Amino acid sequence: MITEGAARRVHIIQGEYKVLSDPDAVLTTILGSCVAACLRDPVAGVGGMNHFLLPGTGNTPMTGGDATRYGVHLMELLINGLLKKGARRDRLEAKIFGGAKTISTFSNVGEQNAAFAVQFLRDEGIPVVSSSTGGEHGRKIEYWPVSGRARQYPLTGAETQKTVALEQRPAAPQKPAETSIEFF
């Protein structure tokens, strides 16, 4: 039995994903219009979470940090990360969170994010066993990747606005790959 205080907390931010097999670990994130997909293989005892800002792939070629903003990239990374840790695709199950309409005057990218996640998982043959998407307020998510247990906390209006501000920041530039060669 996991006690709340004993859990090792691993926070996921926009553009990240994590895969863990530690039964004492809990993955956490804070979402506004972003979506987090939580996937696990209950037999292999491995699970993970991602956190994406935009649905699909976008209309421009993805390079460096740009790719981490899009759902298709992070969904593929999460699934491949699970498979590398011993999961099997036919045993995966998913939970989806987020996709709030946090600013009434903006397009509903949150709804598009949630619809993208559902369609992507359907296309991949991965059942969605639970979801909590939409609404007008952000959420704090806790997900235990080995057991599949999930818990969410609604954010207040002020907390949601802070989350919106974080979501609107440009993605941090990725360090370019080293391309020089040194000869000895």
Which residue numbers are catalytic?
A: 34
Could you give phi then psi for residue 67, rounded to 5 degrees?
-60, -35
> Packing angle between helix 109-124 and helix 71-84, nearest 10 degrees?
40
| 3-class DSSP state of 45 | coil
Closest by alpha carbon to 20, among 90, 87, 98, 75? 87
Strand ranges in the chain using DSSP code E only, listed in sequence order: 8-11, 17-20, 25-31, 35-41, 46-50, 93-98, 128-133, 139-143, 150-154
In whole angstroms, give the CA distance from residue 97 to residue 141. 8
Decide if 97 contacts 38 (C-beta within 8 A).
yes
Decide if 154 contacts 137 (C-beta within 8 A).
yes
Q: Could you say which DSSP state residue 64 is in?
A: G
